[in-house]
Chain A
Amino acid sequence: MYSQLLGLAGGVALVAAVLALWRRSLLAIVRILAVQGLAIAAVALLLGVHHHEVAELIVAAGVLVLKVGVIPMVLSRVVRDAPNQRDTQPSINTATALVAAAVLTVIAFGATRRLVDLAPSPESELIPVGFAIVLVAFFGLVARRNALTQLVGFLLLENGIALVALVATARVSLVVELGAALDLLLAVLVLQVLTSRMRSKFGALDLDRLTELSD
């Protein structure tokens, strides 16, 4: 039961990363990000309940507040402030995106086989899933040229890493986790300020207009 639920949460997180690759509506992409955050909070909750660890429960609560609450809220405000830019042009079509996601997932599972073999357990089975999310999110990050999708791509990538961090280190230093979460929150706020400045200077979130600096 425990390992099935863990697998389910990991699966939801990976599917969310793939969905975010080809959805057009910015608001939908932000919602997908929140769902992925929820899946990761669920993983932390499962770990905490199963191992009777209070620290993991605190992490679960923190993930819930940060990745399901604050960050999606900040991002959807950015989308709402740009009424005529709620859709983006994906520079990759759905079929290509899905094939790429499949290939990257296979690569992730292949590259991390040894990591799972080191300590086979229901938790470490999720390490390849986390790596797959990282690779898929990275692909989305470089493939799309919109400030908000890049920002979401970065956050999806960070979620993948958070998943690996959760399942790989049973006893994480809470200070490190806290510092990392604080850094992430600040980074999102910085990026939000930058997107609003970008809109006032460029009139859009389209990164193809950033062409003044080159050699």
Chain B
Amino acid sequence: MLLTLVLLPILPALATAAFGWRPSVAWLAVADAACLLAGGIWLAVGVVDGDTAYFGGHVLRADALSAFMVLVIATVALLASWSAVGYIRTEIADGHTTAGAARLFGLLVPAFIASMVLAILAANLGIMWVAIEATTIATTFLVGHHRNRPSLEASWKYVIIGSVGIVLAFLGTVLLSYATQHTGPGAHSTLDWDAMRGVARHLDPAVIRVAAVLLLLGYGTKIGLAPMHTWLPDAHSQAPAPVSALMSGVLLSVAFYALLRIKVIVDLALGPTFLRNLLVVAALLSLVVAASLLIAQRDYKRLLAYSSIEHMGLMALAAAIGTPLAIAALLLHILAHALGKTVAFLCSGEILLAEGTTRIAGVHGLLARRPLVGGSFGLALLALLGFPPFGLFASELAIARAGFSANMGWVTAAAFSLLLVVVAAVLVHARSMLLGEADTPSVSPTSARGAGVPLVAGLVALAVIGITIWPIERLIGAAAHVVAQ
């Protein structure tokens, strides 16, 4: 079962390898993502009561937290690959992409999704690291998809900063294993998460402190926490829209998941204060960076990228608070942000294809000229800013409540004041893009037929989990229990 989930996403890559990129293969990827979602739901039903599923001894393992993350990956993959069908077809038709680049796209996206699922289901923190590092390699060429100078610059920064960050995480992982080796007579080194949690209270605090800093730096780079965020706006703005959606919704979330697994071990060894202080600093710094760079932002894809940094900062705050309520809110926030950011990036792709620019000043009157894309973009932005009825409203409210009830009122207040700056900045930019007179007639009247379906589906899902978190409430509760016992 678990092995199927890891292997399932590779199927479209095999099809692409055999037939090249073509619409039927792209639709296979959509169907495949739907199967992954179904598998994720099945897994979730099995582990929602606190059970843990294993495969091959302790090679793969899944608890409620893993099942929840599989659902996040599958949902984003479904929306992104659905939208990619039309996106790549339009790009080829417009001459922006060659058949070779489309083929590479069809090979690398499934490889990316498969290694993300492996990172979630790996029982061993070393394997988890290998899988997350592998995504760096898969996504580099996806960032450089357009093969022009800016995208080359973005992929260079991405791979150098990402690789350095992730090898620091490897050093931290090695030190964790070193610490488990010296917990007492007869102890041997392990990176198995269950085994580590078992001996966590006996780990040497000094070693774990060094390891925790390295792991936070390493996975923090992948998450895009300031000050290691510098690759993120470039990579997200240069990648094709479906890839931006996958990176923002899946890659950042999975890196955060890795940090949560680490946090369990570190908190057991050191108590919650050490990591909490580091996370609070990273959270506030990320929010400051995002807020200050959103104010004068000129590019709408970069705007979405800085919004990702903002949300990662907020999640770091929730992780710092660390109570069961805060962790549940954090998980809901991961899902809601993934959905909202996916819809926003997919809309940005439609806007770019239609308008031919990513400059905010180059787009006017979107709502009047393209009601579907413009409306979805506007709603997705409102959702990302935390307006009801969408899921982020519920999760941000819960993070604030958790912060005030955990005696972290000042930090929480500071964070939410920075959010107000973000709201104001994004609303100003959104107004100039969506409203106002259209000074140029639209280039092509409508985008590809059916392009709106994944956008609307994503927004509906986001509203459903905002109004009633019924379908996933128990799962989130069980998953939060894994992190915050």
Q: Which residues of A contact B (CB under 8 A)?
A: 111-112, 114-115, 118-119, 134, 138, 141, 147, 150-151, 154, 157-158, 161, 164-165, 168-173, 175-176, 179-180, 182-183, 186-187, 190-191, 193-194, 197-198, 201-202, 207, 210, 212-213, 215
Q: How large is the interface on B (under 10, 10 to 19, 20 to 34, 35 or more residues)?
A: 35 or more
Closest chain-B Cβ to A139's Cβ sits at a distance in Å of: 12
A197 to B293, CA, bound (A): 30
**A-binding segment of B175-183, B432-440, B466-474:** B175-183
Cβ A118 vs Cβ B204 within 8 A: yes
Bound complex: CA A138 to CA B171 (Å):
14
If over half of B's interface residues share one DSSP class (helix, strand or loop), that class is named, otherwise mixed; here it is helix
Taking a contact as CB atoms under 8 Å apart, the answer to whether B167 and A197 are in contact is no
Considering the chains assembled together, what is the distance between the CA atoms of A168 and B207 in angstroms?
12
Q: CB-defined interface of B162-179 with A at 8 Å, one 1/0 digit per residue?
A: 011001101100110111
Given contacts A161-B171, A165-B174, A198-B156, contact A180 B164 (CB under 8 A): no
Partner of A154 from the list B148, B149, B160, B210 (CB cut-off 8 Å) is B160
A190/B141 in contact, CB under 8 A: yes
Beyond A161-B170, A213-B154, A215-B302, is A118–B124 a contact (Cβ under 8 Å)?
no
Contact B130 A212, beta carbon cutoff 8 Å: no
| Cβ B167 vs Cβ A158 within 8 A | yes
B136 close to chain A: CB less than 8 A: yes
Apart from A161-B171, A171-B189, A179-B134: 13 A-B pairs, beta carbons within 8 A: A112-B210, A119-B182, A151-B160, A165-B170, A176-B124, A176-B129, A179-B130, A187-B133, A193-B141, A194-B156, A198-B152, A210-B153, A210-B157
B159 touches A168 (CB 8 A): no
Do residues B134 and A176 form an inter-chain contact, with CB atoms below 8 A? no
Residue on A nearest B299 in the bound complex, by CB? A215
Identify the interface centre among B156, B188, B204, B297: most chain A CB within 10 Å of its CB: B156
Cross-chain contact of A179 among B127, B167, B178 (Cβ < 8 A): B127
Partner of A201, one of B152, B233, B302: B152
Provide the residues of chain A in CB contact with B191, threshold 8 Å.
173, 176
16 contacts between A and B (CB under 8 A): A114-B204, A114-B206, A114-B210, A134-B171, A138-B164, A161-B174, A168-B177, A168-B178, A173-B126, A179-B126, A190-B140, A191-B160, A194-B159, A197-B147, A202-B149, A213-B237
- Decide if B83 is an interface residue (CB 8 Å cutoff): no
Give Cα distance in the complex from A141 to B302, angstroms.
Answer: 26
Q: Quote the shortest CB–CB distance from B366 to chain A (angstroms).
A: 23
Report if B150 contacts A (CB, 8 A): yes
B196 to chain A, nearest CB (A): 13
Complex contact B174–A169 (CB within 8 A): yes
A215 touches B149 (CB 8 A): no
Q: Is B352 among interface residues, defined by CB-CB distance under 8 A?
A: no
Q: Are A164 and B174 in contact (CB under 8 A)?
A: yes
B144 contacts A by Cβ under 8 Å = yes
Minimal beta-carbon separation of A71 from chain B (angstroms): 13
Other-chain contact of A187, B126, B147, B163, B233 (Cβ < 8 Å): B163
Q: Is the CB of B164 within 8 A of A115?
A: no
Chain A residues with CB under 8 Å of B164's CB are: 138, 141, 154, 157
Answer whether residue B244 sits at the interface, using C-beta atoms and an 8 A cutoff.
no
Let me know if B178 and A169 touch, CB within 8 A.
yes
Decide: B153 and A190 in contact? CB cutoff 8 A. no
B234 within 8 A of A: yes
B373-385 CB contact bits vs A (8 Å, 1 = yes)?
Answer: 0000000000000
Contact call B189/A176, Cβ cutoff below 8 A: no
**Cross-chain contact B234 with A194 (CB below 8 angstroms):** no
Decide yes or no whether B155 CB sits under 8 A from chain A.
Answer: yes
Is B137 interfacial (CB-CB < 8 Å)? yes
- Check if A169 sits within 8 Å of B293, measured CB to CB: no
Inter-chain contacts of B126 with A (CB < 8 A) = 173, 175-176, 179-180
Chain B 177-214 residues near chain A, CB threshold 8 A: 177-179, 181-182, 188-189, 191, 204, 206-207, 210
